[in-house]
Amino acid sequence: MYDKSLIIFDMDGLIFDTGRLAYASYLDAAKKFDFELKPEVYYYLTGRTEEDIRIEMKNIYNRSDEVELWRDYINQTKEEILLKEKRVYKKRGLIELLSYLKNNNYLIALASSASRQKIDYYFELEELSQQLFDTIVSGDDVVKGKPEPEIFLKACEILDVSPGNAIVLEDSTEGLKAANRAGIFSVYIEDNLDDLPSHEGKYRLNQSVMNLEHLEKKIYDLELPSLLELIDYLNQKVSM
């Protein structure tokens, strides 16, 4: 009998197509302040809390005050893009998967490093009901963000489900690490930005700090091309 009863979703880059929007704001900042940028930088930073992103940016660029200015500009630019777009765009297969999970009595959680305010805003933009999720855990609700497992363990605790009976859906390295540390089966669904441009810049990346190989080793249990394919996977498992 298949023992998975809880599906935990990440948000940015997983249920909403925010990766390209975010990268556009990084690229704008890189050109303005002339720091090196490539998609791998975004892969490295995504999934973290705002505080941790700033810490890691200082590490990989070996800059302090400059990074604070860069990050403020990135956030400001992203908000301007959001105000113009008024969309964050639901990922392919999201609605079908949520419907399938509800119809088959799975518990559903959202566990995002984003603030609760940002989560509310994105759901409002996409007119997606938060009632589709049995619980929502934000970065505001935990002390230690991803790659620490606290956010996923909290979702399990709230819904009274053992970590061994849950599945985490993630697009980020840090989120997958957190799932592993929590002892939760992890599914990697790539948010691929490799086609987006880079910027060389005079402020270079510190290669000794940052490993630019995106997911250089397998740190997940299963890889799927999109959310939609999870339906077939679960159907196969249940029928075994």
pTM over 0.85: yes
Distances (CA, A) of 135 to 44, 81, 103, 109, 183: 27, 29, 17, 5, 20
Beta bridge partners of 135: 109
Contact between 74 and 25 under an 8 Å Cβ cutoff? The reply is yes
The domains located in the chain, with CATH, are 6-20+87-239 (3.40.50.1000)
Burial 167-197 (b: 16+ CB within 10 A, else e): bbbbbbbbbbbbbbbbebbbbbbbbebeebe
Q: Tokens at residue 160, please?
A: 């009274």
Beta bridge partners of 169: 9, 187
- Residue of 137, 143, 148, 205 lying closest to 176 (CA atoms): 148
pLDDT per residue as tens, the chain (240 positions): 689 999 999 999 999 999 999 999 999 999 999 999 999 999 989 998 899 999 999 999 999 999 999 999 999 999 999 999 999 999 999 999 999 999 999 999 999 999 999 999 999 999 999 999 999 999 999 999 999 999 999 999 999 999 999 999 999 999 999 999 999 999 999 999 999 999 999 999 987 766 644 445 678 999 999 999 999 999 999 888
